[in-house]
């Protein structure tokens, strides 16, 4: 565990010294704030129009403004992560391989699983730090809406973001372990994530086994449940299993570096 913590601390220090991390986090927060305000304004406008129409016909308005805002916000945030994650993970292994520090790390008394897990936990910590400021959007909505946004929806939405982010980071780390070029690692990561993002579009409504499989491995299909306030056990198992599988592939890639060096 001491070696694991050493790797984790080293990676966290690297993130805080890297301008790329600050740029990516900054762009993410600016875009997420912009789309939150845009979504909030559009839904409030729609709510006012519905209220006016309801008053004309003597009906009570039924538009759930807080719930709609948060569901749309979680949807937009997940889409932003599709573009932000490759830049966060592109240098996890590629930068060290190019700089030659990966060979020094491989010769140190550190197990492969400690290297892989330490780096993954560091990237996950940065991801959590990136998400934390967005909680203020939810707090603002909770304090200024009546009825307030349901806590169940907020908690399940952020749980979904955390699980989705874990998968994206694990895949990005695996892609970074395959090359010495950070740009190539980012492109490979984005390509894999994009395929998993849209893989079920052509299979929706299909009854065949292949169609069901494509729908099951889609990242967005399982994420949609969390944005509706539903924590499904099968979705939890899917994200955890996918994350562990990507970490396992990364471990095998790091192990192959050791064999090639030998």
- Sequence-ordered list of residues with C-beta below 8 angstroms from that of 231, at least 6 positions apart, any chain: 156, 159, 225
- Does residue 205 have a pLDDT over 70? no
- Cis check for the bond before 156: say yes or no (omega within 30 of 0): no
- Does residue 257 have a pLDDT over 60? yes
Strands (DSSP E) contained in the chain are: none
What is the domain count for the chain? 1
Which structural domain, as residue segments, surrounds residue 101?
A: 2-261
Overall average pLDDT of the 160-183 stretch? 93
Cβ(159)–Cβ(226) below 8 Å: yes
User: pLDDT value at position 141?
Assistant: 78
- Lowest-confidence pick of 22-31, 84-93, 106-115, 235-244: 106-115
Overall average pLDDT of the 116-126 stretch? 94
Spatial separation of the C-alpha atoms in residues 69 and 39, rounded to whole Å: 6
Round to the nearest angstrom and report the end-to-end CA distance of the chain: 26
Alpha helices in 58-134 (DSSP H): 65-89, 94-99, 101-107, 112-131
Describe the crossing of helices 151-176 and 219-227 by its angle, rounded to 10 degrees. 160
In which band, very low, low, confident or very high, does the pLDDT at 62 lie, cut at 50, 70 and 90? Answer: low
User: pLDDT value at position 3?
Assistant: 85
Spatial separation of the C-alpha atoms in residues 55 and 202, rounded to whole Å: 43
In which band, very low, low, confident or very high, does the pLDDT at 176 lie, cut at 50, 70 and 90? Answer: very high
Residue 203 burial (CB count, 10 A) = 18
Spatial separation of the C-alpha atoms in residues 76 and 161, rounded to whole Å: 11
Q: What is the DSSP secondary structure assignment for residue 201, as one 8-state letter?
A: G
Cβ(169)–Cβ(244) below 8 Å: no
Please, how many CA atoms are within 13 Å of residue 187, restricted to the half-sphere of its CB?
6
Spatial separation of the C-alpha atoms in residues 75 and 227, rounded to whole Å: 7
- Does residue 56 have a pLDDT over 60? no
Residue 145 burial (CB count, 10 A) = 16
Which pair of tokens denotes residue 247?
A: 């970490």
Where does residue 135 fall: left (phi above 0), alpha (psi -120 to 50 degrees), or beta otherwise? alpha
Q: What is the DSSP secondary structure assignment for residue 180, as one 8-state letter?
A: S
């Amino acid at each position: 565990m001491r070696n694991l913590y050493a790797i984790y601390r080293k990676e966290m220090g690297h993130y805080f010294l890297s301008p790329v991390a600050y740029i990516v986090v900054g762009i993410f927060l600016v875009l997420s704030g912009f789309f939150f305000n845009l979504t909030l304004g559009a839904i409030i406008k729609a709510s006012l129009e519905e209220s006016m129409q309801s008053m004309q016909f003597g009906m009570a308005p039924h538009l759930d403004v807080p719930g709609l805002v948060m569901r749309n916000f979680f949807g937009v945030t997940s889409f932003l992560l599709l573009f932000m994650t490759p830049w966060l993970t592109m240098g996890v292994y590629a930068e060290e391989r190019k700089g030659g520090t990966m060979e020094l790390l491989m010769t140190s008394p550190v197990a492969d699983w400690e290297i892989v897990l330490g780096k993954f936990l560091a990237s996950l910590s940065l991801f959590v730090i990136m998400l934390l400021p967005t909680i203020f959007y939810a707090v603002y909505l909770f304090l200024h809406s009546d009825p307030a946004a349901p806590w169940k929806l907020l908690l399940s939405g952020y749980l979904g973001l955390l699980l989705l982010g874990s998968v994206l980071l694990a895949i990005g780390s695996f892609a970074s372990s395959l090359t010495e070029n950070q740009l190539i690692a980012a492109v490979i990561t984005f390509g894999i994530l994009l395929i998993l993002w849209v893989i079920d579009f052509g299979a929706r409504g299909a009854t065949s086994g292949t169609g069901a499989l494509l729908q099951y491995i889609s990242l967005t299909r399982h994420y949609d449940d969390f944005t509706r306030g539903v924590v499904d056990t099968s979705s939890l198992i899917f994200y955890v299993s996918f994350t562990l599988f990507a970490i396992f592939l990364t471990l095998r890639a790091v192990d192959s570096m050791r064999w090639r060096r030998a």
